[in-house]
């Protein structure tokens, strides 16, 4: 293979998207192919006038990539349209928004992958003690104290924070949470809601209903059709924007893919 061919297979730095917190502690770069897929989705919905003010991102099972999808979609939407966007994490069962953008956690996960081990990460997220949405709803902190601002002036993150198991059902159904969502809707053009997996808790259906529409995320080759169908059935009362197929593996040789137009 020629050196030119190898160079062409590298990352297109002009199309990657990096999200950073304003304090420089958190940072995550999303690959060009990831951004391009969400760019296509958001553009189509925007041009057709079908992009709702709030979108709930859900999955049937844990580990499907809901948080990754929510942050990447929100960042792409904010970057491309100039609209103000906030990714709101409502997943107290498996919060991962801060860890997703923490370079230390990312590096350790990459190291474990190279060693081909599935042991849990021991890296503590840089902002593990950062106040989250749960503390805002309970009145312990202000909304401004909990929001994480990015280096894009129109893109913010609101982590879930910690909430005991006993309090989660009442929180999901509380008038205080609905009131907070109204406040966020008044502050931002679009909200992307990171909702727990349907099979994890029935509260996920209640939380998904806080959005105007939803997207279901599923991993290729890992989630059964039956599980995906159940997730779709559980949220059938909501407007469905589509299904995102995550971690897709394409076995077509690269030289053939290079001959296929990508636009």
> Average pLDDT of the chain?
83
pLDDT of 236 strictly over 70: yes
* Mean of pLDDT values over 223-241: 77
**What pLDDT, on the 0 to 100 scale, is given for residue 222?**
58
pLDDT of 155 strictly over 90: yes
* 34-43: long-range pairs with CB below 8 Å, 24+: 34/72, 35/72, 35/76, 36/262, 37/244, 38/69, 38/72, 38/73, 38/76, 38/77, 39/76, 39/80, 41/73, 41/241, 41/242, 41/244, 42/73, 42/76, 42/77, 42/80, 42/81, 43/80
For tokens 């391009």, the residue is 36
Q: Which domains does the chain have, with CATH numbers?
A: 12-114+124-257 (3.40.50.300)
pLDDT category, 123, cuts 50, 70, 90?
low
C-alpha span between 52 and 209 (Å, rounded):
13
**What pLDDT, on the 0 to 100 scale, is given for residue 42?**
82
Instruction: Point out the least confidently predicted range of 13-22, 66-75, 192-201, 251-260.
Output: 251-260
Burial of 196 (0-12, 13-18, 19+ CB in 10 A): buried
Which segments of 82-151 does DSSP mark as H helices, in order? Answer: 97-100, 103-114, 133-137, 143-146
pLDDT of 55 strictly over 80: yes
Helix, coil or strand: residue 123: coil
pLDDT tens column, 64-113 = 889 999 999 999 999 999 999 999 999 999 999 999 999 888 887 777 76
**What pLDDT, on the 0 to 100 scale, is given for residue 121?**
58
* Mean of pLDDT values over 182-203: 94
pLDDT category, 150, cuts 50, 70, 90?
very high
What percentage of the chain carries pLDDT values higher than 90? 50
pLDDT tens column, 13-54 = 457 899 999 999 999 999 888 888 888 888 888 887 778 999
- Residue environment code for 46-67, b if the CB has 16+ CB neighbours within 10 A, otherwise e: eeeeebeebbbbbbbbeebbbb
C-alpha span between 242 and 41 (Å, rounded):
9
Q: Order of strands across the sheet with 213-219?
A: 148-149, 155-158, 85-89, 190-194, 54-59, 213-219, 239-246
**What pLDDT, on the 0 to 100 scale, is given for residue 85?**
97
Q: What are phi and psi of 256, to 5 degrees?
A: -80, -45
What percentage of the chain carries pLDDT values higher than 70? 82
Q: Higher pLDDT residue, 146 or 49?
A: 146
Q: What are phi and psi of 242, to 5 degrees?
A: 155, 180
């Amino acid at each position: 293979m020629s050196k030119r061919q190898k160079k062409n297979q590298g990352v297109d730095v002009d199309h990657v998207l990096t999200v950073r917190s304003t304090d420089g502690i958190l940072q995550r770069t999303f690959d060009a192919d990831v951004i391009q897929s969400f760019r296509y989705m958001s553009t189509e919905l925007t041009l057709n006038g079908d992009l709702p003010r709030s979108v709930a991102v859900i999955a049937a099972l844990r580990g499907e990539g809901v948080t990754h999808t929510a942050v990447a979609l929100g960042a792409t939407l904010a970057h491309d349209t100039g609209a103000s966007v906030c990714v709101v994490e409502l997943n107290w069962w498996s919060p991962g928004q801060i860890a997703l953008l923490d370079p230390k956690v990312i590096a350790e996960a990459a190291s474990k992958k190279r060693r081909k081990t599935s042991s849990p990460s021991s890296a503590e997220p840089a902002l593990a003690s950062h106040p989250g949405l749960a503390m805002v709803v309970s009145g312990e902190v202000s909304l401004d104290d909990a929001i994480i601002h990015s280096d894009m002036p129109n893109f913010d993150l609101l982590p879930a924070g910690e909430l005991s198991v006993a309090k989660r059902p009442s929180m999901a159904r509380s008038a205080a949470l609905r009131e907070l969502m109204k406040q966020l809707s008044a502050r931002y053009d679009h909200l992307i809601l990171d909702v727990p997996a349907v099979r994890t808790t029935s509260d996920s259906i209640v939380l998904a209903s806080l959005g105007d529409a939803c997207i279901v995320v599923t991993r290729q080759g890992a989630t059964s059709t039956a599980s995906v169908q159940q997730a779709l059935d559980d949220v059938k009362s909501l407007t469905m924007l589509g299904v995102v197929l995550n971690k897709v593996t394409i076995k077509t040789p690269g030289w053939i893919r290079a001959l296929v137009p990508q636009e």
